[in-house]
């Protein structure tokens, strides 16, 4: 907006506003005094332009204008706050000498260049060679959702400990809400006013819970005074019972007293894909499977609670566009060659991807 406020334009205005009976030529006192000020004033205009952008959530063309701390300040004016990260949780099994005590706060980790650290949350004693204790990631985020057997190292005092592992995966780790997701909730609040427990209010309450990425609300779904809330987690899949319970608790603390509320996760409908493919030179079936799986997953994620039609042509496109694939034939989606329709309260998720050459 202030692109024309250059140092040359600013300096010229200062010279134009100076008395007419003074020397304004280069090297004259007036010229030399205005020259250092012009670049500093130019920087102020640049900062002002930046502040103008950061102070609004959107540009005039509808693109995102504000990010990070500035976006959070803007959203906070309406009581919309970024959802914090959640730490993953699980259990760790120690092996070692009989009677060795494992204390609360001990840290264990995965190996590799970027280890993930976990903190033991309870005390225990190795009996019959092992002890299994609850643990959680040291920091929040999806990085803590490690596979079984990923935890291998003990930090600090390892006297009496000969090994450590996690026999089951760790889960429940959720990243801090992204700017994109926060902006979407802010725009929902602005464009879909919430009042006295209307459907927008129930959706806002559900979306305030960390781990929920979308919700669909049905008013009077089973008679007067009834409300149904259908949820998706941050993977655009059916949420866990624990996460549904958190939404129930939050809505119960906010909803009108006369409402009967049902909260459920979206029903997952598996989409199974089968095709015969011709590989490009130097590519393997594993390469093709990874590329196609990622592409179809991304497509199905975009449909969640938005579009109930899984289009056969889009699945075909995901296969045909894969860098590993030269050509394909005999494509079936859930055993057929037509679109797949999922229910309004359902979400399509990728099932089996079966490729042959």
Residues 31 and 98 in one domain: no
Asked if residue 174 is part of any domain, the answer here is: no
Residues 327 and 254 in one domain: no
Mean pLDDT for all residues in the chain? 92
CA 35, CA 25: separation in Å to the nearest integer?
12
| Per-residue model confidence (pLDDT) at position 294 | 96
What range defines the domain where residue 47 resides? 1-54
| Per-residue model confidence (pLDDT) at position 192 | 85
Residues 156 and 229 in one domain: no
Asked if residue 179 is part of any domain, the answer here is: no
Helices 241-252 and 199-207 cross at an angle (nearest 10°) of 130
Smallest CA-to-CA distance from 165 within 179, 183, 190, 148 is with 148
Per the structure, how many domains does the chain have? 4
Q: Which residue has the tokens 């540009």?
A: 59
| Per-residue model confidence (pLDDT) at position 41 | 86
Asked if residue 138 is part of any domain, the answer here is: yes
Residues 140 and 154 in one domain: yes
Residues 210 and 279 in one domain: no
Residues 282 and 316 in one domain: yes
Domain finish residue from 242, 265, 288: 265
CATH number at residue 260: 3.30.300
Q: Which residue has the tokens 């190996």?
A: 111
| Per-residue model confidence (pLDDT) at position 23 | 83
Residues 277 and 215 in one domain: no
Domain finish residue from 11, 34, 54: 54
| Per-residue model confidence (pLDDT) at position 105 | 94
Asked if residue 252 is part of any domain, the answer here is: yes
pLDDT in tens, 56-98: 888 888 888 889 999 999 999 988 999 999 999 999 999 999 9
Residues 256 and 272 in one domain: no
Residues 145 and 133 in one domain: yes
With a cut of 50, list the residues of the chain below it in pLDDT. none
The angle formed by the CA atoms of residues 147, 149 and 151, to the nearest 5 degrees, is: 90
CB atoms within 10 A of CB 10: 20
What is the arrangement of strands in the sheet containing 226-233, beginning at the earlier edge strand?
212-219, 226-233, 260-265
pLDDT in tens, 156-201: 878 899 999 999 999 999 999 999 999 999 998 898 888 878 889 9
């Amino acid at each position: 907006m202030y692109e024309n406020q250059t140092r040359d334009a600013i300096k010229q205005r200062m010279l134009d506003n100076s008395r007419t009976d003074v020397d304004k030529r280069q090297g004259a006192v007036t010229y030399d005094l205005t020259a250092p000020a012009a670049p500093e004033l130019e920087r102020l205009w640049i900062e002002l332009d930046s502040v103008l952008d950061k102070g609004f959530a959107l540009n005039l063309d509808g693109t995102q204008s504000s990010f990070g701390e500035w976006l959070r300040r803007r959203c906070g004016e309406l009581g919309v706050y970024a959802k914090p990260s959640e730490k993953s949780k699980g259990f760790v099994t120690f092996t070692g000498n009989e009677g060795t005590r494992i204390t609360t706060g001990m840290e264990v980790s995965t190996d590799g260049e970027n280890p993930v650290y976990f903190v033991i949350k309870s005390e225990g004693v190795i009996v019959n060679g092992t002890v299994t204790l609850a643990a959680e990631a040291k920091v929040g985020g999806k990085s803590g959702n490690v596979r079984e057997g990923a935890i291998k190292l003990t930090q600090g005092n390892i006297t009496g400990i000969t090994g450590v592992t996690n026999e089951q995966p760790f889960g429940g780790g959720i990243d801090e809400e992204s700017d994109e997701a926060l902006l979407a909730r802010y725009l929902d609040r602005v464009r879909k006013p919430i009042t006295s427990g209307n459907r927008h209010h129930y959706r806002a309450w559900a979306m305030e819970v960390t781990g929920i990425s979308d919700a669909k609300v049905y008013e009077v779904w089973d008679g007067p005074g009834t409300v149904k809330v259908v949820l998706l987690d941050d993977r655009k899949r059916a949420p866990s019972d624990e996460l549904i319970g958190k939404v129930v608790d939050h809505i119960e603390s906010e909803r009108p007293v006369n409402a009967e509320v049902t909260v459920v996760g979206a029903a997952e409908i598996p989409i199974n894909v089968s095709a015969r493919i011709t590989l490009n030179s130097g590519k393997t079936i594993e390469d093709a499977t990874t590329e196609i799986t990622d592409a179809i997953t991304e497509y199905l994620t975009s449909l969640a609670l938005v579009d109930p039609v899984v289009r056969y042509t889009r699945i075909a496109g995901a296969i045909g566009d894969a860098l590993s694939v030269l050509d394909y034939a005999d494509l079936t989606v859930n055993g057929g060659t037509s679109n797949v329709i999922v229910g309004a309260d359902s979400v399509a998720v990728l099932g089996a991807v079966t490729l042959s050459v």
